[in-house]
Each structure stands twice: as C-alpha cells, then as structure tokens.
C-alpha cells in the first residue's frame, strides 16, 4: 500500500480521534461504581483461580470461600477434644488446664487480644458494659459477677464454641491466643470466692476423646 | 455535729422510703426486669421469638403446676429437675434438639426469683415503635434519578443542528427573495459542507491556529489520561473507587461508633499476606442477637441471614447458604506482592495509613492511589521501627556498624532494600 497523502490524512485523523477519546476517559471518573479505565485489565482480573471467587472448572462451578473437606486438619494443629455439649462443657471445666506457663508478658498479650476481640461486648473491665453488648438482647454477664468462679477450662471452652448469645471465636483466635486470653479474663474475674475443681485431677472420661 | 445529725436522719428517711417501696409494689417489678435483663435476656425473649433458648410468652400456662415452685426449681438448677425425671423437663430438652445448655442460677435469692417469675409471667407490652425504624432508612436508600450530562450535551447538539438547518434554509430563501427583487439570479443552495469549506478557505490562519491548539490540547489530555490508566484513584480530586456493596455495611457504625477493632473481622491481617474478608460466622457472632440495625432496620441484616442460612424465627441454621459477593475495593495487580502481616506486625503500620480513616466511611472508598510511585514515596520517607522490635535486632546492630556516621542512624525502608525490584515483583 502506498502511503499517499490521503492515507496520511486518515492516519492523522485517527490518531487525533484516539487522543480525544483518551482525553475524555481521563475526566470520565464520575461513576463511583466504576474502577476507571484499566490498561491491560487481565493484570487486575487474573485468569488464574483466585481466592474469594466463583470459578467454573471443568464444567463445575466452584466457590473458593467454601469450608475445607470435613475432617481436614491443618499441619501442626491439635483438634480440641471436648465436644460442644453440656457434658463437654462440664468436663472441660474439670480437667482442662492452661498449657501456657503464666507470666506477666503473656497476660499482657492476652490484654491486647482482649482489646481486639472481646472489649466491644464485654467492656473494658469485663463487666459486660461494652458498646455492642448494650445492643444485644441481654448484656454479657460480668466476669466479676456471675462468672467469677468460672474455671479456666470453661472459659476456653466458651471462647472455642461460643456460649449463649456469643458465637464461636475459634476461627478468629488460635488455641494459643485463646489460652493467653484466658489469663487476662481470669485477671478480670478477680480472686475466686469458691475453690475451683482443681483438686479433681482424674483423667477425663474416654467418651470425650474424639 | 449538726451535719452528722442531718446525715443520719436523711439516711434513715431514705431507708424508710426504700423499705416502703420494697414491701409494696414498685421495686419488685423493677427488680424482676433488672434481673431478667442481666441473667436471662441473653438467651430468652419475652415473646415467642426463639433466641438461644425458647421464647417465654405464656410460659406460666405451659409448665407443670404449681407454676411458681416448678419455675423456681428449674431456674435454680435445671439439671437437677431433669435428673429427677420430670416429664415436662425431658420434653423441653427434646424440643431443643436434645441439648440442655441452660446455665444454673443458684446464686439468685428466693426474693430475686419471686420478682423474676412475677415479671416473666406478666411482662410489659413490647414497644411497637421498633418496627417503624426501617421506614426512615428506606428514604435514604432511594437514589436520585438523573440523566448523564453527556446525553444532555448530545441532545443539545442535535437540537442546535436542527435549528441551524432550519435557519440556513430560512436565510437562503430570504436571500433568494431579495435577489429576485433586485433582479439578480437566484443563487444555488450550498450544502453545509460546501459552506464550511468556503469559510475555511477564507480563514486559513485562524483555522491553523485552532488545529494546533486542539492537537496540543488533545495530546496534553492524552498524556494526563495515561497517568490515570489502571489507577482507581483521581489524583486531582483525591476521590477514589467507591463501589456500592451487596450489603450496605457501614464501617462508620461498626468500627467508628461501636468501636469494634479492625482485627475482629479482618483477623488474618496479623498472620497472613491478606487482611481477609470476614466469614459470615464472624458477622453472626453479634448479629445472632442484634437483628435490627439503626438505619436499615432488618433489611440489610436479613442479607447476612440469607448468606449464613440462619432462620431468625427458630434460631437455627437450617436455610440454604449463599456466599456474599463483596466487591473488592483495594486491588493490586497480580505482578505485585504485598504482605499485610509484614506491614502491620513488623512495620507497625496503622491500618489508616494506607486505607484512610475507614472508621468514618459509610461505604469504603479507596483513599490512596496504590501505585508504585506511592509505595516508593512511602518507603523513602518511612523510618523502620527498629527500636524494641525483635525482628530487627540483629539487622539494626549490623547496620549501625556498617553505616556508622553516614546515615545518622536513621534508617528508612529504602535503606534496607525497600526499593529492590524483587521485593515486590517476582
């Protein structure tokens, strides 16, 4: 093809039009729902399988935010043996002990965790006067009140499975973090008025081993 | 002395008034309400609504007689009642899925229990105004109907073109009638294009200047547009990507007004590369109990129930589950590696330094450009938090030795390799 004057003119006009369009896209940022003009969008919206998405693979629609297969255990993870039943709760209260050695540093770490995960319902002093707690049908009971003599195992059990209005926090806190938290909750409970069942140190019943 | 006397008499007066009320009516009902709120309301409602435990409406008609004694025994230690082989107690356990999770309330005194039972038997009428709250919210939700200004402009151009055409033919016929009157020849009607060509022929210089101006203007805007390509953020107006989410979740309400820590929901931020979208069970930790919101009432919270399969009537997860399809606001391209835990735990950065003051945002907006330039600028000026940061102990010592006197012991991120290409691109 000869590069005639007419062709050149066409090319010039085309370039000009492209520039104008590009100019308009730069000021077309009115729609807040639009992310704007994406140059090479496949760098943003990758064809590879990403987390939190729905993908069709070999004709199957897969949702990435699904639970793992039942019975899956992460590496190095020790499943919690007491079941989510009344019996399990009582057994945990009797036999479950904090595996972490107490130190002030550990309690401090527990306090940090408390400030992130508990304080909005249970309140800064554990009196159940948190801002979210006030919006629940009933506020959480005070650590220093009805829960004063709650043994450590029951505290751990309740964080793991949830209790009453409270949901399970096992997905948010590792077992180690939960135990650190238990130390801080015990600090908020204050000294116990009734001796806990620490004297009963018999082995847990076989039925609780799952 | 005088003071003491008055103090004493006041005290006794108060005591007398207190006793009077305690033995008459006032305090009892109030007490019952207070005890109920503190101990029972976590699991029981006074209506038919099931929370963790069954609703208590008409409870006096259901339980075995004598009602007061049975309820007293049950509240104090329900396990004992079940163990005694009470038929109604067993049916209650069966009705709640074979699980009896009710706590024991041995610490309540007989007087407390009496007041409580009186209160539960005849609770005050529930407030009706709660259901009306959503109405105000619905008004807010209505969007302003409006036409895109571009269409308005196009419409104006079309109308002007029609008017121009009409005026041209009017002018032509006027000219012709004038020509006829003067006895001149009638002129041929020129097309619009021909007329424009004639005009351009007469104003070559002016047209040249215009062409140059428009060309350079276009090039400039093209150059500017290149800066915005793939950036969800407008540098000039400082406005970012602000998409509408499937649930009108307000960070202002949750993180701002209710002071819930960011990490409660985005709990992987300290452990992983991703801050993470909370799973629905995290929402349900509170919204199992809180079923009405301050702005949209039950409407938006119902979407969580639809996602989690929660049935608020029975309090069980029996419905089908559907994932919530949140729209991602802060996106980095695939060829960039960014690690949240590294920045938050080791670097001790606040969430707000990259995400803006989310605690004040009703809908989340991208507040920073998230471009490479922006990353690098921050790495150049941010000092590494080395003091009291065990992660850096060894490095800190080594760097102090190496750069003695050179860097004034001030180490910004770029000094420890924060500008290396392969730190983020590999």
Q: Tell the residue number behind the tokens 């350079």, with chain if given.
A: B216
- Between A130-134, A169-173, B102-106, the lowest mean confidence (pLDDT) is in B102-106
Average pLDDT for residues B166-176, to the nearest whole number? Answer: 87
Q: In this model, does residue A133 exceed pLDDT 60?
A: yes
B103 CB neighbours in chain A (<8 A) are: 164
Nearest by CB to B222, which of A22, A86, A139?
A22
- Asked if B323's CB is within 8 angstroms of A23's CB, the reply is no
Count of the separate structural domains present in chain A: 1
Question: Which residues make beta-bridge pairs with A166?
Answer: A163
Across the A/B interface, how many CB contacts are shorter than 8 Å? 167
Nearest CA in chain A to B35: A138
8 Å CB contact between B287 and B258: no
pLDDT at A101 over 90: yes
| Residue A38 domain flag | no
Three-class secondary structure of residue A144 per DSSP? coil
In a domain, A56, yes or no: no
- Chain A contact set for B101 (CB, 8 A): 86, 89, 164
Q: What's the half-sphere exposure (Cβ side, CA atoms, 13 Å) at B109?
A: 3
Considering the domain boundaries, does residue A28 fall inside one? Answer: no
- The pLDDT-based confidence of B72 (bands split at 50, 70, 90) is confident
Q: Provide the pLDDT for residue B230.
A: 62
Contact indicator for B42, A136 with CB cutoff of 8 Å: yes
Residue A20 lies in a domain: no
pLDDT at A164 over 70: yes
The pLDDT tens digits for B218-238 are 998 888 777 766 667 777 777
Chain centre to alpha carbon of residue B141: 15
The pLDDT value given to residue A156 = 95
Q: Identify the pLDDT of residue B83.
A: 78
Residues of B in contact with A61 (CB under 8 A): none
The Cα of B128 is separated from the nearest Cα of chain A by a number of Å equal to: 16
CA–CA distance, A71 with A53 (Å, rounded to integer): 23
Q: Would you call B85 helix, strand, or coil by DSSP?
A: coil
Q: Contacts of residue A54 in chain B, CB cutoff 8 Å?
A: 323, 325
Residue with tokens 């109030």: B30
Name the band, by pLDDT with cuts 50, 70 and 90, for residue A159.
Answer: very high
Indicate which CATH number applies to the domain containing A124.
1.10.760.10
Q: Which residues of B are less than 8 Å from A161 in CB distance?
A: none
CATH T-level topology, domain B2-126? Cytochrome Bc1 Complex; Chain D, domain 2 (1.10.760)
Could you tell me the two tokens for B353? 């330094």
Q: Give the pLDDT of residue B216.
A: 93
How many angstroms separate the CA atoms of A159 and A180, rounded?
12
Question: Does the residue A118 lie in any domain?
Answer: yes
Q: Following DSSP, what letter does each residue of B107-136 receive, concatenated?
A: TS-HHHHHHHHHHHHSPPPPPSGGGGHHHH
- Is A16 within 8 Å of B218 when comparing Cβ atoms? yes
Chain A nearest CA to B42, separation (Å): 4
Asked if the model's pLDDT at residue B318 lies above 80, the reply is: yes
pTM across the whole model: 0.69
- Percent of chain B exceeding pLDDT 70 equals 83
Residue A168 resides in a domain:
yes
pLDDT range class, residue B202, cuts 50, 70, 90: confident
Look up residue A172 and give its two tokens: 């948010």
Binary contact (B228, A29; C-beta < 8 A): yes
Residues B32-43: tens digit of each pLDDT: 777 787 778 777
Residue linked to tokens 């041995």: B106
CB spacing of B244 vs A33 below 8 angstroms: yes
Residue A142 predicted with pLDDT over 80? yes
**Per-residue CA distances from A12 to A2, A4, A73 (Å):** 16, 12, 65
**What is the DSSP-derived secondary structure letter of residue B36?**
I
Domain regions of chain B by residue span? 2-126, 150-238, 372-426
Average pLDDT score over residue span A116-127 = 92
pLDDT over 70 (residue B114): yes
Determine the structural domain holding residue A161 and report its residue range.
86-193
3-state DSSP assignment of residue B363 = coil
Return the DSSP state at B187. Answer: P
In a domain, A53, yes or no: no
At residue A13 the predicted structure's pLDDT band, cuts being 50, 70 and 90, is low
Q: Compute the distance between CA of residue B317 and CA of residue B237 in angstroms, rounded to an integer.
A: 46
Domain annotation covers residue A6: no
């Amino acid at each position: 093809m000869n590069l005639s004057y007419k062709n050149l003119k066409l090319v010039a006009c085309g370039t000009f039009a492209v520039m104008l369009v590009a100019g308009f896209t730069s000021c077309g940022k009115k729609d807040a729902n639009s992310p704007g003009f994406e140059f090479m969008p496949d760098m943003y919206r990758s064809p590879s399988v990403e987390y939190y998405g729905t993908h069709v693979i070999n004709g199957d629609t897969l949702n990435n935010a699904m639970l793992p297969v039942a019975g899956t255990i992460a590496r190095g993870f020790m499943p919690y043996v007491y079941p989510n039943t009344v019996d399990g709760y009582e057994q945990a209260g009797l036999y479950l002990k904090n595996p972490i050695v107490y130190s002030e540093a550990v309690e401090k770490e527990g306090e940090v965790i408390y400030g992130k995960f508990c304080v909005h319902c249970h309140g800064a002093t554990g009196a159940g006067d948190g801002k979210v707690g006030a919006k629940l049908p009933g506020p959480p009971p005070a650590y220093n009140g009805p829960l004063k003599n709650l043994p450590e195992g029951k505290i751990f059990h309740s964080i793991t499975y949830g209790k009453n209005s409270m949901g399970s926090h096992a997905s948010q806190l590792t077992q180690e973090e939960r135990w650190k938290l238990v130390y801080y909750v015990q600090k908020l409970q204050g000294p116990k008025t009734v001796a806990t069942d620490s004297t009963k140190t018999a082995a847990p019943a076989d039925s609780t081993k799952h | 002395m005088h003071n003491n006397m008055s103090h004493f008499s006041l005290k006794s007066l108060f005591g007398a008034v207190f006793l009077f009320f305690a033995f008459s009516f006032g305090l009892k009902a109030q007490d019952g309400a207070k005890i109920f709120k503190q101990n029972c309301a976590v699991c029981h409602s006074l209506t038919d609504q099931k929370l963790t435990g069954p609703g208590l409406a008409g409870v006096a008609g259901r339980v075995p007689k004598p009602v007061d004694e049975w309820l007293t025994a049950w509240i104090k230690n329900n396990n004992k009642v079940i163990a005694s082989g009470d038929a109604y107690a067993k049916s209650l356990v069966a009705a709640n899925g074979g699980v009896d999770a009710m706590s024991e309330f041995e610490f309540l005194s007989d007087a407390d229990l009496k007041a409580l039972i009186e209160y539960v038997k005849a609770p005050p009428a529930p407030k009706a105004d709660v259901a009306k709250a959503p109405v105000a919210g619905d008004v807010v939700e209505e969007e302003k109907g409006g036409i895109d200004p571009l269409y308005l402009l196009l419409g104006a151009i079309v109308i002007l073109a029609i008017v121009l055409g009409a005026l041209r033919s009017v002018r032509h016929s006027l000219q012709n009638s004038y020509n006829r009157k003067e006895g001149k020849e009638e002129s041929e009607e020129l097309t619009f294009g021909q007329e424009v060509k004639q005009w351009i022929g007469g104003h070559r210089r002016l047209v040249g200047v215009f062409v140059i101006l428009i060309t350079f203007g276009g090039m400039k805007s093209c150059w500017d547009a290149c800066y915005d390509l793939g950036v969800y953020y407008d540098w000039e107006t400082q406005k970012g990507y602000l998409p509408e989410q499937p649930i009108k979740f307000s960070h202002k309400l949750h993180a701002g007004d209710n002071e819930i820590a960011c990490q409660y929901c985005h709990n992987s931020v300290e452990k992983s590369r991703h801050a993470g979208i909370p799973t629905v069970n995290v929402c349900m930790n509170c919204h199992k109990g809180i079923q009405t919101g301050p702005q949209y009432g039950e409407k938006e919270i119902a979407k969580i129930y639809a996602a989690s399969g929660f049935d608020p009537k029975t309090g069980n997860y029996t419905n089908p589950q559907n994932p919530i399809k949140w729209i991602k606001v802060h996106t980095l391209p695939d060829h960039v590696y960014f690690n949240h835990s590294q920045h938050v735990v080791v670097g001790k950065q606040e969430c707000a330094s990259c995400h803006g003051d989310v605690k004040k945002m009703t809908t989340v907006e991208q507040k920073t450009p998230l471009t490479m330039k922006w990353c690098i600028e921050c790495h150049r000026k941010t000092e590494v938090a080395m003091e009291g940061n065990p992660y850096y102990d060894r490095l800190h010592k080594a760097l102090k030795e190496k750069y003695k006197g050179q860097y004034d012991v001030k180490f910004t991120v770029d000094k420890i390799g924060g500008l290396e290409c392969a730190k983020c691109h590999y």
